[in-house]
Amino acid sequence: MRPNHFLILALLFSSFSLLVLKVHGDPPHILLIVLDDLGWSDVKFHGSKINTPNRDKLASEGVILDNYYVQPICSPTRGALLSGMYPIHTGLQNGVIRSTEPYGLPLNITILPQKLKEAGYSTHMIGKWHLGFCSWSYTPRYRGFDSFYGIYLGAGDHYTHETARILDLHDNETPVENKDGVYSTYLYAEQAQKVILSHNASTPLFLYLPFQSVHSPLQVPTEYTEKYENITDDDRRIYAGMVENVDEAIGNITEAMKTAGLWDNTLLIVTTDNGGASDEGGYNWPLRGEKGSLWEGGVRGVGFVHGKMLQRTGVTCKELFHVTDWYPTLLHLAGIEEDSDSSALDGFNIWPAISEGVPSERTEILHNIDGNSAAIRVGDMKLLLNVKNQEWYEPPELSSGARKTKKKSGRKIRAALYNITADPNESQDLRRTYPDVVRTLRRRIRYYRRGEVPSGKQSSDPEARKLARKNGYWGPWID
């Protein structure tokens, strides 16, 4: 190309705030699966004895993420995934969005499906939203999804699809009232297969599939629990059945992708939203802590990537990643390179690190700041401030008998420092050994505090439940 042609192209692109660069080949189809409350111990590649042949095969053929972090609880992780921003920058730093709270992921944030639509993607969501529904503008169909089938709230009965005895199952804006008795995982897998088999392969597909499983209530068809009679703990036995059941659903969905001719150009991402909850069957052994905590058991996430576009496969990646990184990474793969608003992102494009094994651009992670409580990791070192003490929870079926399962402690720890690379189980507090590191990490937390936005947390609005009871289903109540 002659120099004057380069000049013409440069002038054309200068009028756009968004520069679109095509990745080699067609943009991939993206299948993004979130498993709710899946514990670190509950996958085969971390030692689990639960039967998960589909995930085992997919993970072994792809890239397992060994140093990957999420948020400690549902709404903050989902908001971070779809926005590329830490919860302190979206107002979601103070827990989950409750059913009667009139707020959500801020509307001034352009989220992942909206950006993917700009690149020509067909966008669909099936499963659990949990990012606000007080008005229609907060719901999935108004946030970039061409279709939505699932629940607005954070949990519900897997068979009746009710929360607080009120229906929470929707097909776009219409309540679904004829699926009582159909198990949620079956229902979502069936809907996913419908979307996949009816999709035109010439258009890139983004299918966001945040399963309701394996979140409580602990429910699963009995043929799955019967396989785990060796597990004496009732909750753990049902939970194990749920883990196997959702694995079967993943297998059915990937088979549908193959049948539809989509699989060879599909990037599959499987991630948890937080660590497992020990009193609901999930375990994170040998990591310390659980769901809701800033200990590794709450924030170190199970995750892997699969796809023929990976330049290396069958490997475990130990580079540092965070859930906010999916946003810029997937936009990069879709052919979108930000030249505006990118400064607001907390995520990095981690595709070269995953696919090629080069060092990750990420060197630190703010786990969260919530009032006086905070945690940050910089390089190998992690500092926790004003957190409740949590210990270790060993799955009974993995127990050697040499160590008893420990329970939570309400005692607060004012400060603790760990070398996570050398001590991922957070057993040796180094704060007295390395006071200079403690001071450095405290300064980083103060830096993030200066950029923190006010929490979006709102008081409960009685109109939400009143209208839901009147209508017979949960839905927007402000407009």
Give the residue from 40, 78, 220 showing the smallest Cα distance to 154: 78
Output DSSP code: residue 453: P
Question: Beta-strand (E) ranges in 240-295?
Answer: 266-272
C-alpha 167/C-alpha 104 separation (Å) is 20
C-alpha 288/C-alpha 4 separation (Å) is 61
Contact (Cβ atoms closer than 8 angstroms) between residue 268 and residue 34 = no
Active site residue 134: no
* Candidate list 130, 161, 170, 306, residue with the active-site label: 130
CB atoms within 10 A of CB 451: 10
C-alpha 151/C-alpha 435 separation (Å) is 47
The answer to whether the bond into 221 is cis (omega within 30° of 0) is no
Active site residue 130: yes
Q: Go through 295-311 and write b for each residue having 16 or more CB atoms within 10 A of its CB, e for each that does not.
A: bbbbbbbbbbbbbebbe
Contact (Cβ atoms closer than 8 angstroms) between residue 134 and residue 477 = yes
The Cα-based distances of 440 to 67, 360, 446, 447 in angstroms read 22, 22, 10, 11
Angle at 243 between CA 113 and CA 149, to 5 degrees: 35
For 174, the 3-state DSSP assignment is strand
Give the residue from 53, 44, 31 showing the smallest Cα distance to 253: 31
C-alpha 100/C-alpha 460 separation (Å) is 5
Contact (Cβ atoms closer than 8 angstroms) between residue 475 and residue 133 = yes
Which residues belong to the active site? 74, 130
